[in-house]
């Protein structure tokens, strides 16, 4: 271990010697261990690099959630489709915001600030479409409740 003083601080390095055949002399490779604590004499580890945080879009999700709440869409859907509510809302938000093919929802959802349950993989989308397609009774029930709510 090598100590190097710079200014008022002492820095600690792990030094490994090696032979440089081109210059025909000994060289040193150093690995920084941290700043030496003045009281304990132990290396204070350097800060780790900060994790890159994701930048997510929130504006149109906030707008769509607000509209859905104001018109009572979420509550009406929840009465009929209890387990699928987040998947349905996630797909609806995607279709309204982007209007693209359903299989693209997954990559779009990664860039959005919304509940994880609204992020749908390709297999989740297929399962959702299959469930909704087979369950005509639930679809009819939802539309009946929705029409009553609008009156």
Averaged in consecutive runs of 10 residues, what is the pLDDT profile of the chain (151 residues)? 90 93 94 90 82 85 95 94 94 96 94 92 95 94 93 80
Burial of 35 (0-12, 13-18, 19+ CB in 10 A): middle
3-state secondary structure of 110: helix
pLDDT at position 51, please? 79
Name the strand (E) or helix (H) holding 32. Answer: strand 25-36
Q: Per-domain residue ranges for the chain?
A: 2-44, 59-150
Q: What is the per-residue pLDDT across 3-27, written as a single tens digit (0 to 9) for each?
A: 999 999 999 999 999 999 999 999 9
Residue 57 DSSP class: B
pTM, to two decimals: 0.64
Name the strand (E) or helix (H) holding 59. Answer: helix 59-71
């Amino acid at each position: 271990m090598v100590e190097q003083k710079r200014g008022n601080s002492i820095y600690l390095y792990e030094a490994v010697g090696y032979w440089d055949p081109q210059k025909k002399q000994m060289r040193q490779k150093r690995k920084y261990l941290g700043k030496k604590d003045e009281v304990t004499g132990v290396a204070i580890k350097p800060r780790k690099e900060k994790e890159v945080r994701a930048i997510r879009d929130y504006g149109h999700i906030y707008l769509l959630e607000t509209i859905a709440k104001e018109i009572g869409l979420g509550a009406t859907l929840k009465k009929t489709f209890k387990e699928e509510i987040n998947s349905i809302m996630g797909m609806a938000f995607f279709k309204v915001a982007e209007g693209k093919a359903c299989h693209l929802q997954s990559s779009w959802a990664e860039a959005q600030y919304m509940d994880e349950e609204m992020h749908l993989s390709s297999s989740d989308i297929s399962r959702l479409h299959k469930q909704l397609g087979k369950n005509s009774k639930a679809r009819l029930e939802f539309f009946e409740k929705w029409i009553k709510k609008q009156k």
